[in-house]
Amino acid sequence: MPRHLHGDQLRIGIQEAIVALLTVTARANPLLLLLEDWHWVDDASQAVLEQLIKEEEGLLRRHLGIALSLDRLSSGFNNRHRRLMERGAPD
């Protein structure tokens, strides 16, 4: 990461780099992400997964699988998790 990035610019740069790394990796070889205890996810990790699903929808159908382990009864489960599950669900 460039040293001049700070705050939101740094956060966005890291998020985009992670999405790019996962995208390139999945295009080279099928990839399965196993995300355990996702109901405790932090905002930055949630944003990466949301961006990956939004920007790489075709990739998800062909080369990338995502398995989330979460507890719907947990106090950490919220509407963001529900929307993410609905967006990532196959047709």
Q: Measured between alpha carbons, how far is 66 from 33 in angstroms, rounded to an integer?
A: 5
pTM attached to this predicted model: 0.69
pLDDT of residue 1: 61
pLDDT of residue 18: 92
pLDDT in tens, the chain (91 residues): 667 878 888 888 889 999 999 988 988 888 888 888 877 888 888 889 888 888 777 777 778 887 777 665 555 555 665 655 555 544 4
